[in-house]
Amino acid sequence: MQDNNIFQAIITSTPSIFYFTGEWIEPGERLLALYINISGEVKLIINEMFKVKNVDKNILLTYSDSDNPIDLLADVLIDEKTIGIDEKWQAGFFLELLNLSKNYLFKNVSPLIASLRMVKDEEEIKHMKVSSEINDKTMEKVIKVVPEMLSERLLAKAVKNIFEREGADNISFEPIVAYGLNAADPHHVPDSTKIKDGDAVVIDIGCIKNHYCSDMTRTVFFGNPVDTFKRIYDIVLEANLKAIDCIKPGIKACEIDKVAREVITKRGYGDYFIHRTGHGVGIEIHEMPYISSNSEVILEAGMIFSIEPGIYLPNVGGVRIEDLVLVTKNGCEILNNYSKSLTIV
């Protein structure tokens, strides 16, 4: 904050407040705000109906439903000093603060928080590994269900049930299940489509354990795929493996993206790799660093992100292979252990 001339900050996103306090609070329509300034003052402004265990009671500023929490917040703020606000603060509360007509200067503090959350400590890494272990076990069981020929929607429901049985606290995103032509859409929403012989089956799933997310994609085939899909699968797998192989501290994120993209482009499918190579994963399913062509982030030990190249052929189908990787001191560690060999079910 000092380096960026931000004297005080208002942090309101539930994941970021959890990161700083260890308290996960879903405030709904009520104001929840963590106030921090560079003099070391900290306040948590919270409705009295929410109970916290990990926070020193001396920093709590509680209010009732009959109070105006913006007045409480305004009393803490120091006039004519720059305020950092996070980008997820509800506009209604922000506008109400602006209407107080005080001389406030605002800056976006979210990039600073994101840069802190990018690098995981040992406890966070432990939670991420447990979440990924659950994801591996679930993927194995989900793929075994594919021959039952459920619709995409029913297989997606099975994913949720299996996660629960494996000990997940929740899903980190709605499961993506895509058969055949639908696999050409990277973010396909499962529908009533039934599986057909030769179809590619893209399964993209993730869970939450101890507030930390996992994310993994595997593509398998129902019946014998045509040679085109076998070739595409090999290309995507090569892109995945080569990108992972070059991950180490000091490398720019855009260089990782370039390695994966070049493999696919050289084989003639560059126009069909239509998204970035990966994204950071942690308390949230999408966070920094982003492994994209324009990301200048320099990799550091402790970062965790996905490597998920794909080829998507309109009106034909698609293939995606995704792993989470942890940057280590000398390279990286893959957090997913489920096989990436071409699989026919």
What average pLDDT values come out for the chain (345 residues) when binned by 10 residues? 95 97 95 96 96 92 96 91 93 92 87 96 98 98 96 98 98 98 98 96 98 98 92 98 98 98 98 98 98 98 98 97 98 97 96
Tell me the one-letter amino acid at 192. S
Q: What is the per-residue pLDDT for 318?
A: 97
One CATH from 3.40.350.10, 3.50.50.60, 3.90.650.10, 3.40.50.720 for 8-117:
3.40.350.10
Task: With beta carbons less than 8 A apart as the criterion, state whether 311 and 277 touch.
Answer: no
119-334 belongs to CATH 3.20.20.100: no
Q: What is the per-residue pLDDT for 104?
A: 84
Q: Which residues contact 217 (CB under 8 A, 6 or more apart)?
A: 176, 202, 203, 204, 205, 308, 320, 321, 322
Q: What is the per-residue pLDDT for 251?
A: 97
Distances (CA, A) of 260 to 132, 154, 227, 313: 23, 33, 22, 18
- Cα(257)–Cα(216) distance, integer angstroms: 18
Q: What is the per-residue pLDDT for 102?
A: 75
Q: Where in the chain is the domain with CATH 3.40.350.10?
A: 8-117
Q: Where in the chain is the domain with CATH 3.90.230.10?
A: 119-334
- pTM equals 0.95
Distances (CA, A) of 121 to 53, 118, 200, 244: 22, 10, 38, 21
Q: What is the per-residue pLDDT for 79?
A: 85
